[in-house]
Amino acid sequence: MPPLLHAKAIVKRFGGVTALAGVEIELAENEILGLIGPNGSGKTTLVNCISGVHKIDGGDVFLRERSLGHASRTRRARAGMARTFQTPRLFSELSVRENVAVGGNASRTRRSPGRTRVETLLGRLGLSDLSRDVVSSLAYGYQRRVEIARALVSEPEVLLLDEPAAGLNDAETADLRELLLDIRKEGCAIIVIDHDMDLIMNVSDRVQALDDGRVIFVGAPADAFKERAVVEAYLGAT
C-alpha cells in the first residue's frame, strides 16, 4: 500500500544555505515515526515544509497520494494535517476551552467540533478543571497540553508534533506517551520530534535520523544508535 504521507525529495534553502537536501520521509497508516537528529539537522524545517509553514524549493508532499507540496496551510489542514510547534502558539487571552475549540476551524468535515469532542479532549489531557482559565496564566507544560488538544480537535489523519515533551516532568511525559499511543489507536498517524530519547524510543514504530539536512538512518528504534552515522551526528566522529 502507498504511504499515508510521503514527503518526496524535499529541498529547502535559506539564502545560500541548504537546510534540506532532497529529504524523503514516509508515514504509514496508524504509525508513529520518531524524527531525531542533533540541533540544526533539519527536523523542524522538514515539519515546517510538510505542514506548509515554509515553501519548498524542490520536491513535493503527498497525503493519500494527493499533491499538497504547494498548497496553503489551510488546505493542508483541511486535507487532514495538524501540528504543534516548538513554542506553543496559542491565543493568549482566550480561555483553554476557547483555544481548543478554535482548532475545529481546520476540521476535515468543515463542521465546528461538538461540545462533547472539546470536553472529551479537555478531560483526556487533564485540562477540565482549567477550561475557563485564560491560557496565558497557565504553566508551560499545561500550555503544551492545550496546543495538543487544539490540534486533535480537528480529527486529523496526520499529527506533526514538534518537541511535545518540552517543559513536562517525568510523570507528564509518561502521560504523553500513553496519549500518543491512544491517538494512534484512534486512526491518526504521528510524526514526533523530541530530544527526550526515552519517549522517542518507547513510542515510535520507526525512527528516522537527520543530519545536515540529509537522512542518515531509517529503521527500528533499537537500531538507531547502533548506526555509526547517528552516533557521530550526536557525539562527533571519533
What does the pLDDT look like over 189-201, one tens digit per residue? 999 999 999 999 9
pLDDT value of position 125:
86
Alpha-carbon gap, residue 212 to 51, rounded angstroms = 20
Higher pLDDT, 170 or 111: 170
Confidence of residue 106 (pLDDT cuts 50, 70, 90): low
Res 169: pLDDT: 87
pTM of the model: 0.91
pLDDT tens digits, residue range 36-46? 999 999 999 99
| Among 195, 201, 191, residue whose Cα is nearest residue 225 | 201
pLDDT in the model for residue 238: 52
Q: Across the chain, what does the average pLDDT equal?
A: 91
pLDDT at position 108 is 56
Is domain 1-72+197-238 given the CATH code 3.40.50.300 in the classification? yes
How far is 31 from 149, CA to CA, in rounded Å? Answer: 19
pLDDT of residue 166: 85
* pLDDT over 80 (residue 237): no
Going by C-alpha positions, the residue among 228, 193, 194, 222 that lies closest to residue 206 is: 222
Apex 50 CA angle, 48 and 51, nearest 5: 65
Residues 6+ apart with CB under 8 A from 76: 51, 52, 61, 63, 68
Between residues 88 and 222, the one the model is more confident about: 222
At 125, which amino acid appears?
A: L
Q: What is the pLDDT of residues 156-172, one digit of tens each?
A: 999 999 999 988 888 88
**What per-residue confidence (pLDDT) applies to 4?**
97
Confidence of residue 146 (pLDDT cuts 50, 70, 90): very high
21-34 pLDDT per residue, tens: 999 999 999 999 99
What per-residue confidence (pLDDT) applies to 140?
84
Q: What is the pLDDT of residue 89?
A: 82
Residue 219, pLDDT score? 97
**When comparing pLDDT for 81 and 124, which is higher?**
81
